[in-house]
A and B are shown apart, each in its own frame.
Chain A
Amino acid sequence: MAAPAEVDFRTRLQDSLPRLVLAPSFAATLLFVYGFILFTVYLSFTGSKMLPNFTWVGLENYRKLWALDAWWIAISNIAVFATLYIVICTAIGLTLAIFLDQKIRGEGLLRPIYLYPMALSFIVTGTAWKWFLDPGIGLEHTMHLWGWESFSFTWIKDRNMAIYTIVLAAVWQTSGFVMAMFLAGLRGIDNEILKAAQIDGASNWQLYRRIVIPMLRPAFLSAFVILFHLAIKSYDLVIALTGGGPGRATELPATFMYSYTFTRNSMGIGASSAVIMLMTIAAIMVPYLYAELKEKP
């Protein structure tokens, strides 16, 4: 008599097994990602200082945040950094990919050279570039030793220029990766289309301008999405390269959030800056992911 019930139980278990297997990961995501996001959002409406407390202060933190010079510096820095970083990486990546795609001898050697910086930690990249850019012993010093006495390159010590050193090092680290994305896109284009266009008398320039680059649209989109979220998340590189200085010249929202939350004991303001960072990324990522996942029913 017990047998059918047992079978029933076993099939039910078998039926729900896949969901049971997925459950721990999904639960962890819900708690550690979405639960934590809600918690931080909530904190941003409280008067938390060194430790979280739960006195509701409404939009007070956001009002304070947008009144802070330091925040405005961080915001204008991220705007400059993200724009240049994305544009330059894309330009270099695309150029290198197109050039590498011309049946280059030694492609197998060049590709890993372009790509290896991506395997490094931003702390390592920062250490290397910090020294390379140091006027006292780095590039400037070397140029002087080589007899170019008037050579001057002091961006890293210059409040107005330091942010561009962050761009330089970040581009060095990621542009090779963008190259790989475009190269994969180029290799996926059907040569017959190009040949047909050539028979119609298209020049190389027209070929790329009118046919190849429009066909790389998906690669452009993925490159943009990846670079954009990397730019907003940039933290380690600033810490290693300039420490946010000179002064506050290279402070970004990520470093702002960290210092307000953990060293300046203004957790409420730190939380509200994190919320703004998340909203910026979500504004790009949510529509992108929605479109990507929607495609396939």
Chain B
Amino acid sequence: MSAVTQDTAVRTGRVTRTFIYLVLLLFALFYLLPFFVMLVNSVKPLAEITGGNMMALPRTWTFEPWHSAWSTAQIGVEPTGLKPYFINSIIMVVPAVAISTVLGALNGYVLTKWRFRGDTWVFGLMLFSCFIPFQIVLIPMARMLGLMGLAGSTPGLVLVHVVYGLGFTTLYFRNYYAAFPTELVRAAMIDGAGFFRIFWRIMLPVSGPIAVVSVIWQFTNIWNDFLFGASFGDQDSQPMTVALNNLVNSSTGVKEYNVHFAGAILAALPTLFVYIVAGRYFVRGLMAGSVKG
């Protein structure tokens, strides 16, 4: 009986199956094509791009565009390449991800194991903040960062990303901890364990999977952010996305497409890397992210 339940109930004929494979392959092509084209053209000399076929493999291979995108291309007014902005992004992302994940874990723990009157409202208010259009906070945020002396600085951007990421991290940990048996926490309480000891000894050791999810989610979101970076960053703190946009959209003179592509791939590499290494958890986590009580 159990062997029967294993396979899917739906039976498909040969024609249908061929059709299904065809559609699936076509879509795979659709998703791969733009990235393939970028990759291939990032190792071609410019003349081959403007005069040639974008699908063709390079006749002369060159890694000059990559070198240029990384260290010599004109970004805004300075010919610095994307390197300093890549570093800006790293310096911004690491603390923002760490702080928002730790706070999310603590919040989720409180909201599930130390419930109090009105906790659902507190959570609801935090959760709604995930979905607001950030345009609604841009003006006061610019003012607030100015008042705090953080305008145009990396700590300012870290603050922004922590504040607007808290809703998601709290959601993840809350949903995850909600499934954890409260009896164990009760038993530990009776044994005299305090708030932090229970968190440290009981909750934290089982938090691995959801911590991975929270870190990946926050990392991709913050790394890929453009709006906050463009609004609140300056020369010394602008993230990679803003620099890439400057590279691609404001270059005067000849448009060096190959350099643009190399730059775009450089900007995508960290998130792609994280996704390839830990993608499985990522998907699972996004499923958990659907708001369930």
Give the interface of A toward B (CB within 8 A). 14, 17-19, 21-22, 24-26, 28-30, 32-37, 39-40, 43, 52, 92, 95-96, 99-104, 110-117, 119-125, 127-132, 137-139, 141-142, 145-146, 172, 176-177, 180-181, 184, 191-192, 194-195, 197-198, 204, 207, 218, 222, 229, 232-233, 235-236, 239-240, 243, 253-254, 257-258, 261-262, 267, 270-271, 273-275, 277-278, 281-282, 285-286, 288-290, 292-293, 295-296
- Residues A19 and B116 in contact in the complex (CB < 8 Å), given A112-B276, A117-B31: yes
- Residues A119 and B293 in contact in the complex (CB < 8 Å), given A18-B116, A267-B139: no
16 contacts between A and B (CB under 8 A): A25-B103, A32-B141, A33-B164, A39-B139, A99-B20, A119-B268, A120-B272, A127-B244, A142-B55, A172-B30, A194-B10, A195-B9, A239-B226, A274-B135, A285-B131, A293-B293
Residues of B within 8 A of A114 (CB): 27-28, 31
Known: A18-B114, A33-B164, A117-B35. 17 other contacts (CB 8 A): A17-B194, A22-B111, A24-B103, A33-B125, A35-B140, A99-B24, A119-B282, A121-B224, A122-B226, A123-B245, A128-B37, A131-B257, A137-B54, A137-B257, A138-B54, A240-B248, A278-B132
Complex-state Cα separation, A26 to B121, whole angstroms = 11
Residues of B within 8 A of A103 (CB): 7-8
Q: Is the CB of B195 within 8 A of A132?
A: no
* B34, closest chain A residue (CB): A128
Complex-state Cα separation, A19 to B55, whole angstroms = 59
Complex-state Cα separation, A149 to B86, whole angstroms = 42
* B119, closest chain A residue (CB): A22
* A117, closest chain B residue (CB): B31
* B127, closest chain A residue (CB): A289
- Residues A123 and B128 in contact in the complex (CB < 8 Å), given A115-B279, A222-B290: no
Interface SS of chain B: helix, strand, loop or mixed?
helix
Which of A127, A142, A289 is B248 in contact with, Cβ under 8 Å? A127
Residues of A within 8 A of B291 (CB): 222, 288-289, 292-293
Q: Mark B10-32, 1 if CB is under 8 A from A, else 0.
A: 11100001001101100110111
Residues of A within 8 A of B55 (CB): 142
* A233, closest chain B residue (CB): B133
For window 104-154 of B, CB contacts with A under 8 Å fall at: 106-107, 110-111, 114, 116, 120, 122-129, 131-141, 143-144
Q: Is the CB of A21 within 8 A of B195?
A: yes
* A180, closest chain B residue (CB): B283
* B126, closest chain A residue (CB): A29
Nearest-Cβ distance from residue A245 to partner chain B, whole angstroms: 11
Q: Is the CB of B116 within 8 A of A116?
A: no
Give the interface of B toward A (CB within 8 A). 4-5, 7-12, 17, 20-21, 23-24, 27-28, 30-35, 37-38, 49-50, 52-55, 103, 106-107, 110-111, 114, 116, 120, 122-129, 131-141, 143-144, 162-164, 166-167, 170, 194-196, 220, 223-224, 226-227, 231, 241, 244-245, 248-249, 257, 260-261, 264-265, 267-268, 271-272, 274-276, 279, 282-283, 286-287, 290-293
Q: Is the CB of B110 within 8 A of A18?
A: yes
* B271, closest chain A residue (CB): A119
Complex-state Cα separation, A234 to B35, whole angstroms = 21
Q: Is the CB of B8 within 8 A of A102?
A: yes
- Residues A121 and B126 in contact in the complex (CB < 8 Å), given A114-B28, A207-B10, A274-B133: no
Nearest-Cβ distance from residue A290 to partner chain B, whole angstroms: 8
Q: Is the CB of B31 within 8 A of A37?
A: no
Complex-state Cα separation, A199 to B234, whole angstroms = 66
Q: Is the CB of A17 within 8 A of B195?
A: yes
Q: Name the 4 nearest CB pairs between A and B, nearest first.
A: A18-B114, A194-B9, A296-B293, A121-B224
